[in-house]
Amino acid sequence: MALLEIDNLTVSFYTSEGVVTAVDDLSYTIDAGEKFGVVGESGAGKSVTALSLLRLIESPGEIESGSIRFCDPDTVEELEESYPEHVVDVGELRRESDFANVIERLEDRGVSGLDVTGNPEHETADLPRLRADGELGIRDVIDQGYASELGLIGEEDFIVHDGDTSYVELLRAPEPAVRRLRGNNIAMIFQDAQTALNPVYTVGEQIAEAIRHHLDYGDEEAKQRGIELLDTVGIPDAENRYTDYPHEFSGGMQQRAVIAMALSCDPDVIIADEPTTALDVTTEAKILELLEELTDEFDTAVQLITHDLGVVAELCDRVMVMYAGQPVEKSPVEELYYDPKHPYTVGLMSSIPRIGDDRDRLQTIPGTMPDLIETPSGCSFHPRCPYAEEICKQKEPRLVEFDDVESGTRSAKCLEYTGDLEDGIGYTVTVEDDHTPTEYVSSEHHE
């Protein structure tokens, strides 16, 4: 099991103009120690995704459905000790419940294969078939949140045990339990350090408070650790700077301090939300380097959110490209660069700035992100897609998996891959490695 598994997450905002579905049926996983990039223009739902992981979506926003599973054995064990009454034993359920009956009741509710396995290819599959194929088990029913609806488990049962694996379902966990994970297991680096730091408390105090709270350190110990952390993130004269206020730090130092804050309780995963947008290019490079170095050193997984594919290339192992609240392409970073599968990804790539190129980055994809109250019909990218055809306005593409990839899986959400396009998508990717350009021509024509 991955460290973090997000399944069918949907987050909506109830605004006066209508319901905005900021994140729509999103699924992805992050392994322990992995660097995972989430890319897209602003408004693609990246930050909402990040805050959902911490369950910090505030009114008028609401996490409508889905599952966020966190699986760090030590943490699960600790929580289990505090909440013994909220533990589900899947093995026991498997033995005691009548699964055929569960499936029947699911069908009665009109639950589709996609709903309960999260796999787009199961959209139209019938449930007994999936079960017979071993694609659907009781774990899926629990993970997708149907188990409590069906009365198999309690409303608040959030710790799940299945043989050797165990995990915490964040979306069902009580607030105090989530609070124990925030900052401690899942930490966040905010976009703009200047606004993320409280102006009236010293930088040191803002690092130390989390240490005292989560790790039960005394004042002196917490201070010592705070100073060490500041030193680790490269603040010179950390001992003295510890008592500085945020406004006495430069922008780059503030961002370093925020990184120190995120690292303070040695988390399992750090969510970095555009950690360098507020900084100049030189500082940006240094901060990214620092982030990479430290997360490698502490073996911390990272979810890096950015609009800049260049930043992803530098830091990440895998990447998910988001458009209008949905993933349009998931891929290992290398493959994505050599062979982007989705037209939007291609658009983003041609907007990576190069030295000596001062084109406005976002101009290269004509148009803007649709307003999410009325997402375009069919493929939500069609108004901007250079390869859009009539069918794209009608049929919503599904994420299609590619199996031919050596490292990990890839998927893209374009009708091209379900054979629905007449003309196919054609673009050329030029990769310049060591100044010897090689050309790669992608699916010029659809046979």
Partner 1 sequence: MSLQKYILRRVLTSIPVLFGVSVVTFGIMHAAPGDVVSQMVAANPNVPPGESVRLREEFGLNDPIWVQYLDWMQGIFTGDFGEVYSSSRSADTIVMARLPETLLLGAFGWVFAILIAVPGGIYAAVNKDELGDDVSRFAALSGISIPNFWLGLMLMAIFAVQLDLFPTLDPQTGLLSREMLWWLILPGVTIGTAASANMMRIMRTSMAEELNKEYVTAARAKGLPERTVILKHVLRNSLISVTTVAAFLTASLVSGSVVVEVVFAWPGLGRELVEAIQLREINLLMAITLLTGAVVVLANLLADIVYALLDPRIRDEY
In the complex, which residues of this chain contact partner 1 (CB under 8 A)? 51, 54, 56, 179-184, 187-188, 190, 192, 195-201, 209-210, 213-214, 245, 247-248, 258, 261
Among the residue ranges 72-80, 152-160, 219-227, 387-395, the one whose residues contact ligand SF4 (CB under 6 A): 387-395
Distance CA 119, CA 433 (A): 36
**What are the CA-CA distances from residue 435 to residues 294, 310, 350, 430 (Å)?**
31, 18, 18, 11
Calculate Rg over the CA atoms of the chain: 23
387 binds ligand SF4 (CB under 6 A): yes
Segment 361 to 380, residues that bind ligand SF4, using CB under 6 A: 379
Q: Report CA torsion sign: 19, 397, 55, 158.
A: positive
**Nearer residue to partner 1 within complex by CB, 83 or 190:** 190
Residue from the set 241, 318, 382, 410 that interacts with ligand SF4 by CB under 6 A: 382
CB of 328 to ligand SF4, least distance (A): 7
Distance CA 43, CA 62 (A): 16
- Residue 439's H or E segment, with its range, is strand 436-441
Q: Are 300 and 269 in contact (CB under 8 A)?
A: yes
CB of 426 to ligand SF4, least distance (A): 11
Q: Report CA torsion sign: 432, 433, 439, 443.
A: negative
Q: Which residue has the tokens 């002196």?
A: 220
**Nearer residue to ligand SF4 within complex by CB, 118 or 378:** 378
**Nearer residue to ligand SF4 within complex by CB, 226 or 343:** 343
Closest CA to 262 of 342, 326, 197: 197
Closest CA to 279 of 270, 271, 288: 288
Among the residue ranges 187-195, 354-362, 408-416, 433-441, the one whose residues contact ligand SF4 (CB under 6 A): 408-416
381 binds ligand SF4 (CB under 6 A): yes
343 binds ligand SF4 (CB under 6 A): yes
Residue from the set 136, 302, 321, 414 that interacts with ligand SF4 by CB under 6 A: 414
CB of 125 to partner 1, least distance (A): 39
Residue from the set 141, 385, 399, 400 that interacts with ligand SF4 by CB under 6 A: 385
Strands 61-70 and 165-169: antiparallel
Binding site for ligand SF4 (CB under 6 A): 343, 379, 381-382, 385, 387-388, 392, 397, 414-416, 421, 425
